[in-house]
C-alpha cells in the first residue's frame, strides 16, 4: 500500500459487478430503495461495504441537475453577526443532505460579482446571501440563472427571489423612539460604514429629528474601533449623554473606553449596541442591544431553498423575522 491512492476509488460500476446486478439497479438500491427488492438492496449494500464505495456526487449532479450544494455568501466570516446564520444554515442544510460552499465578498461589489460567478459555475441548488445584492448586473445574472436565491438580514419588496430578514430602517426608528423616551438630548452615533448600519442610522436620525454627530468606522467593527470612536465623538461633543452603536462589539469598546475615562455607564453616558452578541449579557455593565434571531434567519433560508428544490411552491417569499430591543444595564 502506497502513499498514492493504492487503487482507483470504487465506482458504482464496481459495486454493481460485485453485487452481480446491473449498474442502474445498484444506483436505485442506493438512491431510490423503494423500487428495489429487499434482497437486492442487501446485496448492493454488502458490495458497497466491501468496495468502500463513496458515490461521486459531482457525476450524479451533472445528470440529475441537483448538485446538493448551496452557496453561502457573507462579507467576511469574522462579521460575527452573521455567524449564527451561517452556522444554522450549514447545519440545517447538512440535515437535508446539502453542503454549503462559502464565499466572502469583503464588502466589495467587485468581489461580490466574482464570488457569484464562481458559485454559479458550481451549479448550486440555491444561494443564500447576507444582505441585498447591490449591483443590478449581479441581480439580473442571478435571476436569469434560475437558481433559488435567498437574500437575508434585510428586507425588500422586490427581492431577487426570496428574502428573510428585517427592516434596518425600522430598527433605527425603534431605537430613536427608545432614546427619545429616555429623554436624552445630546446623542451620538458610532456606526460601521456598511450599507445596513447606515440604514439603521438613517432611521434613527429620522425619528430623533435631526443630524447627529457620528463616528464612522470601517466594517467589520470591533472593540478597538469602539474605543476610538468614543474618543472621536467626545471631541465633537464632550457633553454627550448617550451613544447609539451599530454593533455590540462597538458598544463594548465604547463602554470600556468610557469606564477608562472615568465616566459612569449609564449615569454619565448611556450606550446601546446592536446584534445581541452573547458576551453582551455578561459584561459589566451589561449591554443594551437589539436582538435579531440570526440562527432563525439561517434555518428559514435553508428551508426555503430545500422547499424550492423539492419543487414545492413557496407561499411567502418575503419573511420578516422582526427584532426587539433588549434593555440592560448600559442604558
Stretch that binds DNA, among 8-16, 111-119, 201-209, 286-294 (CB under 7 A): 8-16
- Residues in 270-289 at the binding interface with DNA, rule: CB under 7 A: none
Stretch that binds DNA, among 10-18, 154-162, 235-243, 303-311 (CB under 7 A): 10-18
Q: Give yes or no for residue 8 binding DNA (CB under 7 A).
A: yes
Burial bucket for residue 180 (CB in 10 Å: 0-12, 13-18, 19+): middle
Distance, in Å, from the CA atom of 75 to the CA atom of 231, rounded to the nearest integer, reads 27
- Indicate the residue among 268 and 278 with the shorter CB distance to a second copy: 278
68 phi-psi bin (left φ>0, alpha ψ -120 to 50, beta other): left
- Which CA distances in Å does 182 have to 101, 186, 243, 304, 328? 45, 12, 12, 40, 14
- Residues in 263-302 at the binding interface with a second copy, rule: CB under 8 A: 278-279, 281-284
CB atoms within 10 A of CB 293: 18
Q: In this structure, are residues 217 and 229 in contact, taking their beta carbons and an 8 Å threshold?
A: yes
Q: Give yes or no for residue 23 binding a second copy (CB under 8 A).
A: no
Q: Give yes or no for residue 145 binding a second copy (CB under 8 A).
A: yes
Name which of a second copy, DNA, none residue 218 binds, using a CB cut-off of 5 to 8 Å depending on partner kind. none
How many residues at the interface with a second copy, by CB under 8 A?
A: 63
Q: Give yes or no for residue 118 binding DNA (CB under 7 A).
A: no
Name which of DNA, a second copy, none residue 120 binds, using a CB cut-off of 5 to 8 Å depending on partner kind. a second copy
- Indicate the residue among 15 and 174 with the shorter CB distance to a second copy: 15
- Which CA distances in Å does 219 have to 192, 227, 299, 330? 5, 15, 25, 23
Distance, in Å, from the CA atom of 198 to the CA atom of 129, rounded to the nearest integer, reads 19
Q: Give yes or no for residue 36 binding DNA (CB under 7 A).
A: yes
Stretch that binds a second copy, among 41-49, 94-102, 237-245, 323-331 (CB under 8 A): 94-102
Give the nearest distance from C-beta 113 to a second copy in angstroms. 12
Burial bucket for residue 98 (CB in 10 Å: 0-12, 13-18, 19+): buried
Q: Which of these, 261, 258, 277, 280, lies nearest to 269 by C-alpha position?
A: 258
Stretch that binds a second copy, among 77-85, 169-177, 192-200, 211-219 (CB under 8 A): 77-85
Distance, in Å, from the CA atom of 154 to the CA atom of 197, rounded to the nearest integer, reads 11
Q: Give yes or no for residue 242 binding a second copy (CB under 8 A).
A: no
SS3 168: helix
- Phi and psi dihedrals of 262, rounded to 5? 85, 10
Place of cell 438500491: 29
Q: In this structure, are residues 319 and 152 in contact, taking their beta carbons and an 8 Å threshold?
A: no
Q: Which of 5, 32, 136, 267 binds a second copy (CB under 8 A)?
A: 5
Q: Which of these, 104, 109, 117, lies nearest to 145 by C-alpha position?
A: 117
Q: Give yes or no for residue 64 binding a second copy (CB under 8 A).
A: no
- Residues in 41-60 at the binding interface with DNA, rule: CB under 7 A: 53, 55-56, 59-60
Q: Which of these, 162, 147, 151, 141, lies nearest to 67 by C-alpha position?
A: 147
Distance, in Å, from the CA atom of 61 to the CA atom of 64, rounded to the nearest integer, reads 5
- Indicate the residue among 210 and 282 with the shorter CB distance to a second copy: 282
Q: Which residues bind DNA (CB under 7 A)?
A: 8-9, 11-13, 21-25, 27-28, 30-32, 35-37, 39-40, 53, 55-56, 59-60, 62-64, 66
Q: Which residues bind a second copy (CB under 8 A)?
A: 4-6, 9, 52, 54-59, 61-62, 67, 69, 72, 76-78, 80, 83-84, 86-87, 90-91, 94, 97, 99-104, 106, 115, 117-123, 141, 144-146, 222-224, 227, 249, 252-253, 256, 259-260, 278-279, 281-284
Amino acid at each position: 500500500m502506497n502513499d498514492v491512492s493504492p487503487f482507483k476509488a470504487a465506482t458504482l460500476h464496481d459495486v454493481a459487478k460485485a453485487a452481480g446486478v446491473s449498474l442502474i439497479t445498484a444506483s436505485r438500491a442506493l438512491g431510490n430503495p423503494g423500487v428495489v427488492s429487499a434482497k437486492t438492496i442487501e446485496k448492493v449494500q454488502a458490495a458497497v461495504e466491501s468496495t468502500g464505495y463513496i458515490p461521486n456526487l459531482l457525476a450524479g449532479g451533472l445528470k440529475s441537475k441537483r448538485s446538493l450544494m448551496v452557496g453561502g455568501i457573507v462579507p467576511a466570516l469574522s462579521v460575527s453577526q452573521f455567524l449564527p446564520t451561517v452556522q444554522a444554515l450549514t447545519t440545517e442544510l447538512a440535515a437535508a443532505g446539502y453542503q454549503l460552499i462559502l464565499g466572502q465578498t469583503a464588502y466589495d461589489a467587485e468581489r461580490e460579482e466574482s464570488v457569484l460567478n464562481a458559485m454559479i459555475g458550481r451549479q448550486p441548488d440555491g444561494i443564500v446571501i447576507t444582505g441585498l445584492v447591490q449591483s443590478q448586473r449581479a441581480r439580473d445574472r442571478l435571476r436569469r440563472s434560475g437558481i433559488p436565491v435567498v437574500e437575508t438580514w434585510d428586507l425588500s419588496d422586490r427581492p431577487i427571489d426570496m428574502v428573510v430578514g428585517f427592516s434596518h430602517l425600522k430598527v433605527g426608528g425603534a431605537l430613536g423612539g427608545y432614546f427619545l423616551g429616555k429623554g436624552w438630548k445630546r446623542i451620538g452615533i458610532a456606526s460601521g460604514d456598511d450599507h445596513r448600519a447606515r440604514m439603521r442610522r438613517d432611521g434613527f436620525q429620522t425619528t430623533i429629528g435631526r443630524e447627529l454627530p457620528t463616528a464612522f468606522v470601517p466594517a467589520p467593527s470591533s472593540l478597538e474601533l469602539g474605543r476610538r470612536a468614543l474618543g472621536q465623538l467626545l471631541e465633537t461633543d464632550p457633553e454627550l449623554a448617550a451613544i447609539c452603536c451599530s454593533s455590540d462589539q462597538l458598544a463594548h469598546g465604547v463602554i470600556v473606553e468610557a469606564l477608562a475615562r472615568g465616566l459612569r455607564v449609564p449615569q454619565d453616558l448611556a450606550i446601546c449596541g446592536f446584534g445581541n452578541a452573547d458576551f453582551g449579557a455578561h459584561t459589566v455593565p451589561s449591554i443594551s442591544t437589539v436582538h435579531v434571531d440570526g440562527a432563525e434567519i439561517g434555518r428559514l433560508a435553508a428551508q426555503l431553498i430545500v422547499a424550492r428544490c423539492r419543487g414545492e411552491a413557496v407561499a411567502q417569499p418575503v419573511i420578516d423575522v422582526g427584532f426587539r430591543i433588549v434593555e440592560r444595564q448600559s442604558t
